[in-house]
Amino acid sequence: MFIKADGMERMKNPLLKNDLQGFGKLLNDNWENQKALHPSVTNSQIDDIFDSAMAHGALGGKACGAGGGGCLLFYAKSNYEHLVRKKLEESNISIIDFNFDFGGSQTWTIERNNRC
């Protein structure tokens, strides 16, 4: 029996299997699907950024956010990250570092002091 995995499973499985090349490809698949939704999803500036990142070693990327701004996310193998980063910074693009968190969701409680 074949069961098609939903988008979350499709993205999770390559990460769990350390298939980061597959993860990069899925980022691109997502980006292509986003662009197919409506022409306003991208513009020439965003397309140029994607083209530059991919030409300098990114394996995949996607836009994050709900429109009107946001971030672009790229994945590159560690030995190409510096090349992608350098090229984007040369184009005055701000880089926001991030890491995967394998600990899952965490919550905490703040105890309130009744004194004002």
Residues spanned by the domain of 54? 8-90
**Alpha carbons 68 and 41: distance in angstroms, whole number:** 9
pLDDT bin (cut points 50, 70, 90) of residue 3 is very low
What is the per-residue pLDDT across 55-92, written as a single tens digit (0 to 9) for each? 999 999 988 876 556 789 999 988 999 999 999 999 99
11-66 pLDDT, tens digit each: 788 888 888 889 899 998 988 988 898 888 888 999 999 999 999 999 999 888 76
Q: Which two tokens stand for residue 98?
A: 């991030």
Between 56 and 97, the more confident residue is 56
Q: Is the dihedral of CA 51, 84, 58, 30 positive or negative?
A: negative
Q: Residue 69: what pLDDT?
A: 63
Residue 40 domain-assigned (yes or no): yes
Q: Where are the alpha helices (DSSP H) in 38-77?
A: 44-55
Instruction: Using CB atoms within 10 Å of the CB of residue 54, give its burial: 0 to 12 exposed, 13 to 18 middle, 19+ buried.
Output: middle
CATH, residue 21:
3.30.70.890
Q: Determine, yes or no, domain membership for 106.
A: no
**Cα dihedral: 46, 78, 23, 84 (round 10):** 10
Does the residue 115 lie in any domain? Answer: no
